[in-house]
Amino acid sequence: MKIDSIKDGIVLDHITAGRGMRIYQLLHLEELDCPVAILKNVPSKKMGKKDIIKISDADLHLDFAVIGYVDPEITVNVIREGTCVEKKHVELPEELENVIRCKNPRCITTTEQELPHIFRLADRHDGIYRCIYCDTKASRQL
């Protein structure tokens, strides 16, 4: 299989194998009007297997909070004129908005549905987030 390199755009590399489609969905990449390639289970010396997403669009802005939440080990490579001009390493975000939903039936977000679901990082080591309204715990379960 041959996937061409991109001239301008973004490459999400070092995605844990099997998480590429989740990132594709959360970033709403299906709505883009540009080429997007998802490579699954690519052999990797460092990881064994990994997923890669290539997005051929020079003016794309990604939600790094979503990327960091799904897989904090991802490397974001910015490509210009066929060359990697910037590498960004993501990490677990301090706050998430409308990425996960509060499961507490008594939370205000249940009755006030226009309120955003906001979670703050409570434990970086275990990936624990807490709802800012009711303090309900949410773990990263992907």
Q: Where are the domains of the chain?
A: 9-89, 95-139
Q: Is there a contact between 134 and 101 (Cβ–Cβ < 8 Å)?
A: no
Q: HSE (CB half, 13 Å, CA atoms) of 51?
A: 18
What pLDDT, on a 0 to 100 scale, did the predictor assign at position 55? Answer: 92
Higher pLDDT pick, 130 / 1: 130
pTM of the model: 0.81
Lowest mean pLDDT among 50-59, 102-111, 116-125: 50-59
pLDDT at residue 1 greater than cutoff 80: no
Residue 142 has pLDDT above 60, yes or no: no
CA 9 – CA 111 distance, rounded (Å):
41
Rounded percentage of the chain residues whose pLDDT exceeds 70? 95
What does pLDDT average to over the chain?
89
In CATH terms, 9-89 corresponds, of 3.40.50.10140, 3.20.20.70, 1.10.260.40, 3.30.70.140, to 3.30.70.140
**Assigned CATH topology for domain 95-139:** SH3 type barrels. (2.30.30)
